[in-house]
Structure 1
Amino acid sequence: MAAALIGVLALQTAATAQAQAQEKVTLLSNWYAQAEHGGFYQAVAKGIYKKYGMDVTIKMGGPQVNNMQILVAGQADFSMGYDFAVLKGVEQGLPLVTVGTSFQSDLQGMMTHADVPNLGALKDKTILVAGSGQSSWWPWLKAKYGYTDAQSKAYTFNLQPFFADPNTVQQAYPSSELFQAEKSGAKANFFLFAQDGYPPYGTTIVTLQKTVATKPDLVKRFVKATAEGWKSYLEDPAPANALIKQDNKNMGDEQLAYAVKKLKELKVVTGGDAAKQGIGIMTDERWKKTYDTMVSTGLLKADVDWHKAYTTQFVKDMHVMP
């Protein structure tokens, strides 16, 4: 009995020590909770972060949240990010660095009516572009196909102008606007910008350069656990979706299911370089293409040290295979 009691006490002590060893980590999301955040929520729901010694809290972002500012202020350890924003931040002297990615391509694209065959067929169309698009994909699209600012009008995240005018096209995400259009019975096409060569990654993992320098083991564990979260989410999204609905009361099961279906169809997590090198992989070649795109469209100064915007040290040997 004494031996058994000692054994129980030892197990309790080990469990307590493990609980105390969990490092508290805050992740800031880039929008309201949704399927595009599924890998992160899955890593929480399935205890994957805890397996790697982390107690992770996800704080929701939104349209009024400046993620990079909050990160630099030390109010979060990691943030979901975007290559253009990080490169621009580096240009402005912000100590940001991208350490991994969720998606091998940005999910931004164009929703058109059914008669439009491709992105190159918009010369007689009115194109709805949000403010964020003006400083990211719109200069790239103009340069690629010869479109002009005279064609563009402001996108206010209201689909009625699109429904009312068959000559109007608009920016869209496959899991959001396309879902709304289909629910309304509209016949629409969707063209992912990445399939026409738009180079940035999507929903990246961004932290501070000092975090990489002083806590490389934490960064490595967070990136690895997140990649495993994405693999798990695509296999069974239910645990993460339950947490997503808790954070975002407006997110329903139908839209979550639709979004997961699109993530799988477009292979943004598991396709591209991830198919052979693992989920979360980034390459120098892709970052160079993004830098070149920004410079050629006037969004970034050519003398920016673009290598500061990312590091592949945490993903190159990770090999979380789809």
Structure 2
Amino acid sequence: MIHGLARLFPPLFACLLCATPAFALDKVVFAANWLAEAEHGGFYQALADGTYAKYGLDVTILPGGPETNNRLLLAAGRADFYMGDNLIGEFSALAENIPIVTVAAIFQKDPLVFMSHPGAGLDRFEDLPKADKAFVGLATLTTVWPWMEKTWGFSRVKVATYDFNSAPFLADKNSIEQGYLTSEPFAIARSGGFAPNVFLLADHGYETYATTIETRRDLLEKTPDLVRRFVEASILGWVHYLHGDNSVANALIKRENPDMDDAQIAFSIAQMKAHGIVESGDALKLGIGAMDPARIARFYRDMASAGAAPERLDLAKGFDYSLVNKGFGLEGSGRK
């Protein structure tokens, strides 16, 4: 019958074939941990340049924000993947018996920094505990700060709440403020007229991975190929974003978050490259997304010892290494 229709109406039949997709894409919801920004660039690149579609995925990225907890969407089954902040979130899930599994670590270094005013006697990381005041976000206070107290001698009595407004820090030369390597230093230079001292915690023993890809254990067990496709397409997205034409991703980021501009995006990308946020350490030989079980165990011991993570967790339940550490994407990055 079909062959007969094709002979009778060849032009119409050809158009129908063109309009019919070769296969249906699998719908996937990826919940982000913040508003669209260059720090999410590889994911938006994979969406904008068609990499996700080539992997058979119809991906929706749900932006996060200061008053959202998109991680709950993953646990509730309303999202398929979540962009983890750092490993402490996975430790919390394990402690609460939430079946969430980390399958890749896009950032080999957490971009978390502390900043100080130059020339105020706070020009070395070792000087920072002497600051009169430390502007710290609530999430950092319950996770990173206990480690900073134990390891470097910081004091909780000096903490003041950081609510994403740098005006108090700008007004107090004897204070320090937390931030993101790729964001706050640029904002300080733009609004305050000076370049702050910037100290990347990853350079001072804070070993967590960041911008992880998390999924539910049932999704990994029932549809491992879907999880593989999402991880691989995301890795390629980051390769293309850092080493190719990222204009389509940046246009999408600016559309999703009008507060982003070209100067901020360019600064963020430059900082990620200069400090090896995505490509450093194991990722240089094992590919973007690499995870080292020994490093994770070491970081967990540090956090548990500082009281920032529960003790006696079974880390094997929270991490799956089968989709990374294979050198995937190295050719596209020019490193192979």
Q: TM-score, normalised by structure 1?
A: 0.94
Corresponding letter in the other structure for 1:276: K
Counterparts of 2:246 and 2:115, CA distance in 1: 26
Aligned-pair CA distance for 1:287 = 1.1
Q: Which residue of 2 aligns with 1:102?
A: 106
Corresponding letter in the other structure for 2:127: A
Counterparts of 1:174 and 1:316, CA distance in 2: 26
Q: Give CA-to-partner distance per residue, 1:144-166, whole Å, 9 cap, x none.
A: 11121122221122111111111
Q: Contact (CA 8 Å) 2:42, 2:241: kept in 1 or not?
A: yes
Aligned-pair CA distance for 1:8 = 9.7
**Counterpart among 111, 120, 124 of residue 126 in structure 2:** 120
Corresponding letter in the other structure for 2:150: A
Corresponding letter in the other structure for 2:114: M
Corresponding letter in the other structure for 1:173: Y
Counterparts of 2:154 and 2:263, CA distance in 1: 36
Corresponding letter in the other structure for 2:96: Q
Do the aligned partners of residues 225 and 12 (structure 1) sit closer, same or farther apart at CA in structure 2, a change above 3 Å counting?
A: farther
Q: Which segment is superposed worse, 142-151 or 197-206?
A: 142-151
Mapped pair 1:50 → 2:53: yes
Mapped pair 1:302 → 2:311: yes
Q: Which residue of 2 aligns with 1:161?
A: 168
Q: Contact (CA 8 Å) 2:291, 2:321: kept in 1 or not?
A: yes
Q: RMSD across aligned C-alpha pairs, in angstroms?
A: 1.9
Q: Which residue of 2 aligns with 1:39?
A: 42
Q: Kindly report which structure 2 residues correspond to 1:92-241, keeping only aligned pairs within 5 A, or say none.
A: 92-115=96-119, 116-125=122-131, 126-184=133-191, 185-235=193-243, 236-241=245-250
Counterparts of 1:10 and 1:243, CA distance in 2: 33
Counterparts of 1:122 and 1:266, CA distance in 2: 21
The residue matched to 2:61 in structure 1 has which SS? strand
Q: Which segment is superposed worse, 188-197 or 296-305?
A: 296-305
Do the aligned partners of residues 267 and 67 (structure 1) sit closer, same or farther apart at CA in structure 2, a change above 3 Å counting?
A: same
Q: Kindly report which structure 2 residues correspond to 1:245-264, keeping only aligned pairs within 5 A, or say none.
A: 245-264=254-273
Task: State the number of aligned residues.
Answer: 319
Q: Give CA-to-partner distance per residue, 1:126-158, whole Å, 9 cap, x none.
A: 211110011221111111111211222211221
Do the aligned partners of residues 304 and 39 (structure 1) sit closer, same or farther apart at CA in structure 2, a change above 3 Å counting?
A: same
Aligned-pair CA distance for 1:168 = 0.3
Q: Contact (CA 8 Å) 1:106, 1:202: kept in 2 or not?
A: yes
Q: Contact (CA 8 Å) 1:163, 1:186: kept in 2 or not?
A: no
Counterparts of 1:123 and 1:28, CA distance in 2: 36
Aligned-pair CA distance for 1:117 = 3.0
Q: Contact (CA 8 Å) 2:109, 2:208: kept in 1 or not?
A: yes
**Counterpart among 60, 63, 66 of residue 60 in structure 1:** 63
Listed as ranges, the gaps of 5+ residues in structure 1 are none
Q: Which segment is superposed worse, 43-52 or 287-296?
A: 287-296
The residue matched to 2:232 in structure 1 has which SS? helix
Q: Kindly report which structure 2 residues correspond to 1:267-306, keeping only aligned pairs within 5 A, or say none.
A: 267-306=276-315
Q: Contact (CA 8 Å) 1:27, 1:80: kept in 2 or not?
A: yes
Counterparts of 1:7 and 1:222, CA distance in 2: 37
Aligned-pair CA distance for 1:9 = 5.3
Counterparts of 2:48 and 2:104, CA distance in 1: 21
Q: Contact (CA 8 Å) 1:224, 1:318: kept in 2 or not?
A: no
The residue matched to 2:129 in structure 1 has which SS? coil
Q: Contact (CA 8 Å) 2:33, 2:71: kept in 1 or not?
A: no
The residue matched to 2:43 in structure 1 has which SS? helix
Corresponding letter in the other structure for 1:203: T
Aligned-pair CA distance for 1:308 = 1.5
The residue matched to 1:158 in structure 2 has which SS? coil
Do the aligned partners of residues 169 and 21 (structure 1) sit closer, same or farther apart at CA in structure 2, a change above 3 Å counting?
A: same
Q: TM-score, normalised by structure 2?
A: 0.90
**Divergent runs of 4+, >4 A:** 5-12
Listed as ranges, the gaps of 5+ residues in structure 2 are 1-5
Counterparts of 1:277 and 1:7, CA distance in 2: 50
Q: Give CA-to-partner distance per residue, 1:6-48, whole Å, 9 cap, x none.
A: 7995796487242x42111111111010001000000011100
Corresponding letter in the other structure for 1:286: R
Counterparts of 1:34 and 1:318, CA distance in 2: 26
Percent identity between the aligned chains? 39
Q: Contact (CA 8 Å) 2:147, 2:308: kept in 1 or not?
A: no
Counterparts of 2:311 and 2:189, CA distance in 1: 42
